[in-house]
Chain A
């Protein structure tokens, strides 16, 4: 008996029992579609994290000072500036402040920094100018607004040369940044920037707790990092007092988190695929019992063990493959709904889709083997006698 005839026969049998076939396939459909959707969402969020980390530039090095007893000074920063491979360096002071224009006010993140910050963080000014070295030296009460802050406070009007109140103090708006996009909750679009020295007074701290350094290029990141580590190490002997990390480290950490998440989601979906397979096996066993007489008749007119085995195996495989196809379709549809409703990112991987589909076919074969084997082993005479 050739394969095409067998597949035809299987399709007929499935069509003759549509409701049951659908219920049988449901497990596979849910399994395959959830594998596809969950992995797509997992990889989507992984990609959006990677994108936002990348938007900071891969040459960025972040130094955090944890020791509050020995202050890190601007002189020390000057030492770091001399390190080979370091292009620019920006100390930062951060805090949350209330910014007010007339009757509208908003809570935003404030960053006190220097003129190099623009280069260090790869930002650009859309309107007006950024903080200058002189502003910093003379502790000017000037502020650069993130694009979203400008939008909130001034609407479509240009804020440049206007003034705002930051925690009640009047500041001159000297510029507005271009939109940059999110980077893990601290988007420059939702921040305001003032000169470092001004921020020291506003936030009432003299300590530098964090600074950014931009390496000359990708190749020099590690050399620059080592140099910075040495420079900071001269101030603090205890390595617990500071951390020096680059974007690659952050990305790797994020990657491993999202990878674990993706694997977890995929695993859960895989289990539902397995459960779907057991459902198929269950129904196939019922089907074998129900069709004992048919098996007897087929054997009486010349079907071999192999023919019967193939018939049931093909039926379960076709069943699970149809389920797999439906699952792929529903998975893609569900992913589309997810992206349109939540605005999140779903990254489909052809490998995962093909794998999920093939896995469903494999499950049909594996879980079809036992019932098919049982069917093929029936003695023709007993099968014919079966009522």
Chain B
């Protein structure tokens, strides 16, 4: 039996821009099982990133209930949310979001630093994580010495290093060419096969169809399947 990893109930998030209000998330309810691979599709500005940031405990919804791995996120304090981001969640961004002054290895070490892992173990785990995404020989390179695909691999290694149960990827292939996208997707599929829950945002239906399950968002409303497209 699989357990429910993520449970969203009637999540609302609105932004007020002067006169008009934007319903970024409009009573979104979603349940994701452990080990699932869900892709989220939808047009630009539909609320995909807002949903992902909510699930990633980066953003607070205005109302609704969010249970992550059994704990009610709404009632948690800032430092507890930081712990969740550090231990349960691995983020992968469209623009990689690596720290430019740190080497690949140091970037991957960062989550472990905030966890308080000792330097030696940190190094070993980070190297192992880099090896897992097949980029260990670039460990001492700075991000600007790496190609986009390589940078994204480093970012994935960073997301993986803390052994999180969920990987959240916001358009991870958005900045990559189709061949490199293919490689990154294969990597994510392999990680999912190992049992990791993956939630993937994409514009690309071709990419989305590689997931086990697809949901779509339009104007802040969530639909099962490729509803709007």
Contact = CB atoms under 8 A, between A and B. Distances in A.
A381 B99 contact: no
Interface stretch (A33-41, A92-100, A303-311): A303-311
B116 A2 contact: yes
A301 B114 contact: yes
B214 interface: no
Contacts of A299: 58, 82, 85
Contacts of B58: 299-300, 380-381, 384
Given A381-B59, A384-B97, A305 B79 contact: yes
Contact of A302 (B53, B83, B98): B83
Nearest to B168: A300
A294 interface: yes
A209 B159 CA distance: 94
Task: Choose among B53, B82, B83, B93 the residue with the greatest number of A CB atoms under 10 Å from its CB.
Answer: B82
A239 interface: no
A294 B99 contact: yes
A380 B98 CA distance: 15
A1 B114 contact: yes
B39 interface: no
A67 to B, nearest CB: 82
Contacts of B206: none
B190 interface: no
A133 B115 CA distance: 93
Contacts of B91: 300-301
B150 interface: no
Interface in A5-44: 5, 12-13, 16
Contact of B101 (A16, A301, A302, A307): A16
B158 interface: yes
Interface residues of B, number: 27
Contacts of B53: 381
Interface in B60-114: 78-79, 82-83, 85-87, 91, 93, 97-99, 101-102, 110-111, 113-114
Contacts of B99: 294, 297-298
Contact of B85 (A12, A293, A302): A302
Contacts of A293: 97
Given A2-B116, A12-B101, A301 B78 contact: no
B101 A303 contact: no
A302 B115 contact: yes
B114 A307 contact: yes
Interface residues of A, number: 23
Given A16-B101, A381-B58, A384-B97, A301 B116 contact: no
Contact of B114 (A13, A304, A380, A384): A304
A97 B110 CA distance: 84
Contacts of B93: 384
B116 A302 contact: no
Interface in A254-296: 293-294, 296
B47 interface: no
A301 B85 contact: yes
B53 to A, nearest CB: 5
Task: Choose among A5, A296, A297, A306 the residue with the greatest number of B CB atoms under 10 Å from its CB.
Answer: A297
B70 to A, nearest CB: 19
B173 to A, nearest CB: 19
B56 interface: yes
Interface string B127-168: 000000000000000000000000000000010001000000
Nearest to B159: A301
A293 B87 CA distance: 21
A387 B101 CA distance: 17
Contacts of B59: 381
Contacts of A306: 79
B87 A302 contact: yes
A305 B162 CA distance: 20
A304 B78 CA distance: 8
B97 A300 contact: yes
A297 B97 contact: yes
Contacts of B56: 300
Interface string A303-325: 11111000000000000000000
A296 B97 CA distance: 9
Contacts of B110: 298, 301
Task: Choose among A16, A299, A300, A384 the residue with the greatest number of B CB atoms under 10 Å from its CB.
Answer: A300
Nearest to B110: A301
A306 B78 CA distance: 11
A384 B59 CA distance: 11
9 contacts: A1-B116, A12-B101, A16-B101, A297-B98, A298-B110, A299-B82, A301-B110, A301-B114, A305-B78
Given A301-B158, A381-B58, 20 more contacts: A5-B119, A12-B102, A294-B99, A296-B97, A297-B97, A297-B99, A300-B58, A300-B97, A301-B110, A301-B111, A302-B85, A302-B86, A302-B87, A302-B114, A303-B82, A304-B83, A306-B79, A307-B114, A381-B53, A384-B93
Interface of B: 53, 56, 58-59, 78-79, 82-83, 85-87, 91, 93, 97-99, 101-102, 110-111, 113-116, 119, 158, 162
What 10 A-B pairs have minimum CB-CB distances, sorted nearest first? A302-B86, A302-B114, A304-B82, A381-B59, A301-B111, A381-B58, A297-B97, A304-B79, A302-B85, A380-B58
